[in-house]
A and B are shown apart, each in its own frame.
Chain A
Protein backbone atom coordinates (compact mmCIF):
# COMPACT_ATOMS: atom_id res chain seq x y z
CA UNK A 1 0.00 0.00 0.00
CA UNK A 2 1.16 3.55 -0.59
CA UNK A 3 1.61 6.36 1.91
CA UNK A 4 -1.77 8.03 1.87
CA UNK A 5 -3.20 10.87 3.89
CA UNK A 6 -5.00 9.75 7.07
CA UNK A 7 -8.50 10.44 5.80
CA UNK A 8 -7.69 8.23 2.78
CA UNK A 9 -7.53 5.34 5.24
CA UNK A 10 -11.23 5.90 6.02
CA UNK A 11 -12.23 6.71 2.46
CA UNK A 12 -10.77 3.40 1.32
CA UNK A 13 -13.22 1.53 3.60
CA UNK A 14 -16.66 1.66 1.98
CA UNK A 15 -18.52 0.91 5.21
CA UNK A 16 -16.62 3.53 7.22
CA UNK A 17 -17.57 6.01 4.50
CA UNK A 18 -21.20 4.83 4.60
CA UNK A 19 -21.28 5.69 8.31
CA UNK A 20 -19.68 9.08 7.60
CA UNK A 21 -16.60 8.47 9.76
CA UNK A 22 -14.00 11.24 10.01
CA UNK A 23 -10.44 10.43 10.99
CA UNK A 24 -9.38 13.24 13.33
CA UNK A 25 -6.00 12.04 14.49
CA UNK A 26 -3.72 9.06 13.92
CA UNK A 27 -0.15 8.02 14.68
CA UNK A 28 2.10 5.81 16.82
CA UNK A 29 -0.57 3.25 17.61
CA UNK A 30 -3.34 5.72 18.41
CA UNK A 31 -6.34 6.96 16.46
CA UNK A 32 -9.37 9.20 16.94
CA UNK A 33 -12.41 8.88 14.67
CA UNK A 34 -15.74 10.73 14.83
CA UNK A 35 -19.17 9.85 13.46
CA UNK A 36 -22.22 12.13 13.32
CA UNK A 37 -25.66 11.15 14.61
CA UNK A 38 -27.93 10.05 11.78
CA UNK A 39 -31.57 8.90 11.84
CA UNK A 40 -30.58 5.87 9.71
CA UNK A 41 -28.21 4.61 12.45
CA UNK A 42 -30.85 4.62 15.20
CA UNK A 43 -31.37 1.36 17.11
CA UNK A 44 -34.40 2.16 19.24
CA UNK A 45 -36.93 4.51 17.62
CA UNK A 46 -38.53 5.25 21.00
CA UNK A 47 -35.36 6.95 22.18
CA UNK A 48 -33.52 7.92 18.98
CA UNK A 49 -30.36 6.35 20.39
CA UNK A 50 -27.75 5.11 17.90
CA UNK A 51 -27.64 1.31 17.53
CA UNK A 52 -24.85 -0.42 19.45
CA UNK A 53 -23.74 -2.00 16.17
CA UNK A 54 -22.91 1.41 14.72
CA UNK A 55 -20.84 2.19 17.83
CA UNK A 56 -19.13 -1.21 17.41
CA UNK A 57 -18.32 -0.36 13.80
CA UNK A 58 -16.78 2.94 14.92
CA UNK A 59 -14.75 1.21 17.67
CA UNK A 60 -13.59 -1.54 15.30
CA UNK A 61 -12.50 0.95 12.63
CA UNK A 62 -10.73 3.09 15.21
CA UNK A 63 -8.99 0.02 16.71
CA UNK A 64 -7.88 -1.10 13.25
CA UNK A 65 -6.61 2.41 12.46
CA UNK A 66 -4.62 2.48 15.71
CA UNK A 67 -2.98 -0.85 14.83
CA UNK A 68 -2.19 0.29 11.27
CA UNK A 69 -0.47 3.39 12.65
CA UNK A 70 1.79 1.35 14.94
CA UNK A 71 5.37 1.40 13.60
CA UNK A 72 6.02 -1.55 11.30
CA UNK A 73 2.38 -2.52 10.76
CA UNK A 74 1.47 -3.80 7.33
CA UNK A 75 -2.05 -5.21 7.61
CA UNK A 76 -4.47 -6.07 10.39
CA UNK A 77 -7.78 -7.80 11.03
CA UNK A 78 -9.91 -8.00 14.15
CA UNK A 79 -9.61 -11.25 16.10
CA UNK A 80 -12.11 -10.30 18.76
CA UNK A 81 -13.68 -7.17 20.15
CA UNK A 82 -15.68 -6.66 23.32
CA UNK A 83 -17.76 -3.54 23.79
CA UNK A 84 -19.22 -2.39 27.11
CA UNK A 85 -22.07 0.06 26.73
CA UNK A 86 -22.03 2.35 29.72
CA UNK A 87 -24.87 4.65 28.76
CA UNK A 88 -27.02 5.65 25.81
CA UNK A 89 -25.36 8.17 23.50
CA UNK A 90 -27.35 11.42 23.44
CA UNK A 91 -29.46 11.56 20.25
CA UNK A 92 -28.30 14.25 17.83
CA UNK A 93 -24.72 14.32 19.14
CA UNK A 94 -21.68 13.03 17.28
CA UNK A 95 -19.74 10.13 18.75
CA UNK A 96 -15.95 10.12 18.92
CA UNK A 97 -13.85 7.02 19.50
CA UNK A 98 -10.24 6.99 20.67
CA UNK A 99 -8.24 3.80 20.38
CA UNK A 100 -4.81 2.91 21.65
CA UNK A 101 -2.75 -0.06 20.61
CA UNK A 102 -1.18 -0.61 24.06
CA UNK A 103 0.80 -3.76 23.43
CA UNK A 104 2.12 -5.52 20.35
CA UNK A 105 3.70 -8.93 20.05
CA UNK A 106 5.13 -10.47 16.87
CA UNK A 107 1.67 -11.40 15.62
CA UNK A 108 -0.91 -9.78 17.86
CA UNK A 109 -1.89 -6.22 18.74
CA UNK A 110 -3.90 -5.47 21.89
CA UNK A 111 -6.20 -2.49 21.70
CA UNK A 112 -8.31 -0.45 24.12
CA UNK A 113 -10.83 2.13 23.02
CA UNK A 114 -13.37 4.52 24.47
CA UNK A 115 -16.23 6.37 22.84
CA UNK A 116 -17.95 9.52 24.01
CA UNK A 117 -20.58 11.89 22.68
CA UNK A 118 -20.30 15.67 23.13
CA UNK A 119 -19.73 15.16 26.87
CA UNK A 120 -16.07 14.04 26.86
CA UNK A 121 -16.01 13.26 30.59
CA UNK A 122 -18.77 10.69 30.47
CA UNK A 123 -17.93 7.79 28.11
CA UNK A 124 -20.69 6.08 26.14
CA UNK A 125 -18.78 2.84 25.65
CA UNK A 126 -15.42 1.20 26.11
CA UNK A 127 -13.92 -1.61 24.08
CA UNK A 128 -11.00 -3.99 24.21
CA UNK A 129 -9.86 -6.29 21.50
CA UNK A 130 -7.12 -8.30 19.89
CA UNK A 131 -6.09 -7.68 16.29
CA UNK A 132 -3.78 -9.60 13.98
CA UNK A 133 -0.45 -7.83 13.42
CA UNK A 134 1.41 -8.39 10.16
CA UNK A 135 4.80 -6.76 10.01
CA UNK A 136 6.47 -5.18 7.05
CA UNK A 137 9.76 -7.07 7.63
CA UNK A 138 7.99 -10.43 7.39
CA UNK A 139 7.19 -9.86 3.74
Chain B
Protein backbone atom coordinates (compact mmCIF):
# COMPACT_ATOMS: atom_id res chain seq x y z
CA UNK B 1 0.00 0.00 0.00
CA UNK B 2 1.39 3.37 -0.96
CA UNK B 3 0.66 6.30 1.29
CA UNK B 4 -1.92 8.80 -0.01
CA UNK B 5 -0.24 11.50 -2.05
CA UNK B 6 -0.47 14.92 -0.41
CA UNK B 7 -2.84 17.28 -2.20
CA UNK B 8 -0.95 19.78 -4.42
CA UNK B 9 -0.42 23.05 -2.55
CA UNK B 10 -2.18 25.25 -5.11
CA UNK B 11 -5.23 23.01 -4.94
CA UNK B 12 -5.29 23.25 -1.15
CA UNK B 13 -5.01 27.04 -1.22
CA UNK B 14 -7.62 27.39 -3.92
CA UNK B 15 -10.08 25.22 -2.00
CA UNK B 16 -9.59 27.10 1.27
CA UNK B 17 -9.63 30.54 -0.35
CA UNK B 18 -12.78 29.90 -2.34
CA UNK B 19 -14.55 28.55 0.74
CA UNK B 20 -13.52 31.64 2.70
CA UNK B 21 -14.61 33.97 -0.10
CA UNK B 22 -17.99 32.24 -0.30
CA UNK B 23 -18.45 32.63 3.43
CA UNK B 24 -17.43 36.32 3.56
CA UNK B 25 -19.31 37.28 0.39
CA UNK B 26 -22.46 35.79 1.84
CA UNK B 27 -22.61 38.53 4.50
CA UNK B 28 -23.84 41.75 2.84
CA UNK B 29 -22.98 43.92 5.85
CA UNK B 30 -19.30 42.83 5.71
CA UNK B 31 -19.22 44.05 2.10
CA UNK B 32 -21.00 47.28 3.05
CA UNK B 33 -18.20 48.04 5.52
CA UNK B 34 -15.53 46.90 3.05
CA UNK B 35 -14.17 44.21 5.38
CA UNK B 36 -11.71 41.73 3.83
CA UNK B 37 -10.12 38.59 5.27
CA UNK B 38 -6.54 37.39 4.89
CA UNK B 39 -5.79 33.73 5.53
CA UNK B 40 -2.64 31.89 6.57
CA UNK B 41 -3.48 28.22 7.05
CA UNK B 42 -6.57 28.31 9.20
CA UNK B 43 -5.65 31.68 10.78
CA UNK B 44 -7.76 34.63 9.66
CA UNK B 45 -7.01 38.33 9.94
CA UNK B 46 -9.83 40.73 9.20
CA UNK B 47 -8.92 44.00 7.50
CA UNK B 48 -11.03 47.15 7.59
CA UNK B 49 -9.70 49.50 4.90
CA UNK B 50 -10.17 53.13 5.89
CA UNK B 51 -13.01 55.00 4.24
CA UNK B 52 -14.46 58.45 5.03
CA UNK B 53 -17.91 56.91 5.51
CA UNK B 54 -16.62 55.07 8.59
CA UNK B 55 -15.98 58.26 10.57
CA UNK B 56 -18.06 58.98 13.67
CA UNK B 57 -16.34 62.08 14.99
CA UNK B 58 -15.30 64.33 12.11
CA UNK B 59 -13.57 66.80 14.45
CA UNK B 60 -10.85 64.41 15.68
CA UNK B 61 -11.38 62.57 13.22
CA UNK B 62 -12.14 59.12 14.63
CA UNK B 63 -13.83 55.93 13.45
CA UNK B 64 -17.45 55.59 14.60
CA UNK B 65 -17.84 53.34 17.65
CA UNK B 66 -20.50 51.45 15.72
CA UNK B 67 -18.02 50.75 12.92
CA UNK B 68 -15.60 49.32 15.47
CA UNK B 69 -18.31 47.20 17.11
CA UNK B 70 -19.45 46.01 13.68
CA UNK B 71 -15.92 45.18 12.56
CA UNK B 72 -15.33 43.10 15.69
CA UNK B 73 -18.68 41.31 15.46
CA UNK B 74 -18.21 40.48 11.78
CA UNK B 75 -14.73 39.14 12.61
CA UNK B 76 -16.10 37.00 15.46
CA UNK B 77 -18.89 35.50 13.35
CA UNK B 78 -16.67 34.75 10.34
CA UNK B 79 -13.98 33.18 12.56
CA UNK B 80 -16.54 31.07 14.38
CA UNK B 81 -18.16 29.94 11.11
CA UNK B 82 -14.74 29.23 9.60
CA UNK B 83 -13.75 27.12 12.61
CA UNK B 84 -17.09 25.31 12.40
CA UNK B 85 -16.64 24.48 8.69
CA UNK B 86 -12.88 23.83 8.67
CA UNK B 87 -12.94 20.08 9.43
CA UNK B 88 -15.68 19.42 6.90
CA UNK B 89 -13.80 21.39 4.24
CA UNK B 90 -10.51 19.65 4.96
CA UNK B 91 -12.02 16.18 4.96
CA UNK B 92 -13.81 16.84 1.68
CA UNK B 93 -17.20 16.27 3.29
CA UNK B 94 -18.04 19.85 2.29
CA UNK B 95 -16.78 21.42 -0.96
CA UNK B 96 -16.66 25.15 -1.70
CA UNK B 97 -19.06 24.53 -4.59
CA UNK B 98 -21.61 22.76 -2.40
CA UNK B 99 -21.17 25.52 0.16
CA UNK B 100 -21.89 28.24 -2.42
CA UNK B 101 -25.07 26.46 -3.51
CA UNK B 102 -26.30 25.83 -0.02
CA UNK B 103 -24.92 28.54 2.25
CA UNK B 104 -24.22 27.38 5.79
CA UNK B 105 -26.38 28.86 8.55
CA UNK B 106 -24.36 31.32 10.60
CA UNK B 107 -24.01 31.51 14.38
CA UNK B 108 -26.39 33.97 16.04
CA UNK B 109 -25.11 36.58 18.46
CA UNK B 110 -26.50 36.23 21.98
CA UNK B 111 -24.54 39.14 23.44
CA UNK B 112 -21.55 41.22 22.46
CA UNK B 113 -19.47 43.52 24.67
CA UNK B 114 -17.04 45.98 23.17
CA UNK B 115 -14.25 47.61 25.12
CA UNK B 116 -13.12 50.81 23.40
CA UNK B 117 -9.48 51.18 24.39
CA UNK B 118 -8.29 53.95 22.10
CA UNK B 119 -9.64 56.28 19.46
CA UNK B 120 -9.98 54.55 16.10
CA UNK B 121 -7.67 56.53 13.82
CA UNK B 122 -8.57 57.35 10.21
CA UNK B 123 -6.55 54.47 8.77
CA UNK B 124 -6.84 50.71 8.19
CA UNK B 125 -7.76 48.44 11.09
CA UNK B 126 -7.03 44.75 11.68
CA UNK B 127 -8.69 42.16 13.89
CA UNK B 128 -8.30 38.56 14.93
CA UNK B 129 -10.80 36.45 16.83
CA UNK B 130 -10.12 33.52 19.12
CA UNK B 131 -12.78 30.93 19.83
CA UNK B 132 -12.37 30.31 23.54
CA UNK B 133 -15.08 27.74 23.73
CA UNK B 134 -17.27 26.18 21.11
CA UNK B 135 -19.78 23.60 22.22
CA UNK B 136 -22.63 22.04 20.29
CA UNK B 137 -24.96 24.91 21.13
CA UNK B 138 -22.99 27.84 22.56
CA UNK B 139 -19.68 29.49 21.78
CA UNK B 140 -17.59 32.20 23.42
CA UNK B 141 -15.33 34.31 21.21
CA UNK B 142 -12.81 37.03 22.00
CA UNK B 143 -11.71 39.57 19.39
CA UNK B 144 -8.77 41.95 19.36
CA UNK B 145 -8.37 44.87 16.98
CA UNK B 146 -5.41 47.11 16.28
CA UNK B 147 -4.20 49.63 13.72
CA UNK B 148 -0.51 50.47 13.43
CA UNK B 149 0.85 48.39 16.24
CA UNK B 150 -0.27 44.83 17.05
CA UNK B 151 0.49 45.30 20.76
CA UNK B 152 -1.58 48.50 21.07
CA UNK B 153 -5.17 47.35 20.73
CA UNK B 154 -7.74 50.03 19.96
CA UNK B 155 -10.65 47.75 20.81
CA UNK B 156 -11.43 44.29 22.08
CA UNK B 157 -14.67 42.41 22.49
CA UNK B 158 -16.19 39.25 23.90
CA UNK B 159 -19.31 37.70 22.48
CA UNK B 160 -21.49 34.67 23.02
CA UNK B 161 -23.13 32.90 20.12
CA UNK B 162 -25.79 30.31 19.47
CA UNK B 163 -24.43 27.72 17.06
CA UNK B 164 -26.49 26.54 14.09
CA UNK B 165 -27.37 22.86 14.20
CA UNK B 166 -25.35 21.08 11.51
CA UNK B 167 -24.98 17.58 10.22
CA UNK B 168 -27.93 15.49 9.19
CA UNK B 169 -30.06 18.37 7.97
Binding site for B on A (CB under 8 A): 12-16, 18-19, 39-46, 50-54, 56-61, 64, 77-85, 88
Question: CB distance B66 to A77 under 8 Å?
Answer: no
Question: CB distance A43 to B106 under 8 Å?
Answer: yes
Q: Residues of A contacting B31 with CB < 8 Å?
A: 40
Given A13-B55, A15-B55, A15-B56, A56 and B110 contact (CB-CB distance below 8 Å)? no
Q: Residues of B contacting A42 with CB < 8 Å?
A: 27-29
Q: Residues of A contacting B105 with CB < 8 Å?
A: 44, 46
Main secondary structure of the interface of A (DSSP, over half): mixed
Interface size classification for chain B: 35 or more
Question: CB distance B27 to A43 under 8 Å?
Answer: yes
Contact check: which of A44, A58, A61, A83 meets B111 at CB < 8 Å? A83
Listed A/B pairs (9) with beta-carbon separation below 8 Å: A13-B58, A14-B54, A14-B56, A14-B58, A53-B73, A56-B69, A77-B116, A78-B114, A82-B111
Question: CB distance B58 to A45 under 8 Å?
Answer: no
Q: How far is the CB of A23 from chain B (nearest CB, A)?
A: 15
Given A12-B58, A60-B66, A64-B65, A41 and B111 contact (CB-CB distance below 8 Å)? no
Main secondary structure of the interface of B (DSSP, over half): mixed
Q: How far is the CB of B85 from chain A (nearest CB, A)?
A: 15
Question: CB distance A82 to B54 under 8 Å?
Answer: no
Bound complex: CA of A41 vs CA of B66, how far in Å? 13
Bound complex: CA of A85 vs CA of B113, how far in Å? 11
Bound complex: CA of A81 vs CA of B70, how far in Å? 12
Bound complex: CA of A115 vs CA of B55, how far in Å? 23
Given A51-B73, A81-B114, A83-B111, A40 and B56 contact (CB-CB distance below 8 Å)? no
Given A15-B55, A15-B64, A80 and B32 contact (CB-CB distance below 8 Å)? no
Given A52-B73, A56-B114, A82-B113, A15 and B103 contact (CB-CB distance below 8 Å)? no
Q: Residues of B contacting A57 with CB < 8 Å?
A: 64-67, 69-70
Q: Residues of A contacting B26 with CB < 8 Å?
A: 45
Contact check: which of A40, A54, A78 meets B70 at CB < 8 Å? A54
Q: Is B95 an interface residue (CB 8 A)?
A: no
Bound complex: CA of A77 vs CA of B77, how far in Å? 26
Given A53-B70, A77-B119, A82 and B112 contact (CB-CB distance below 8 Å)? yes
Question: CB distance B66 to A56 under 8 Å?
Answer: yes
Question: CB distance A53 to B116 under 8 Å?
Answer: no
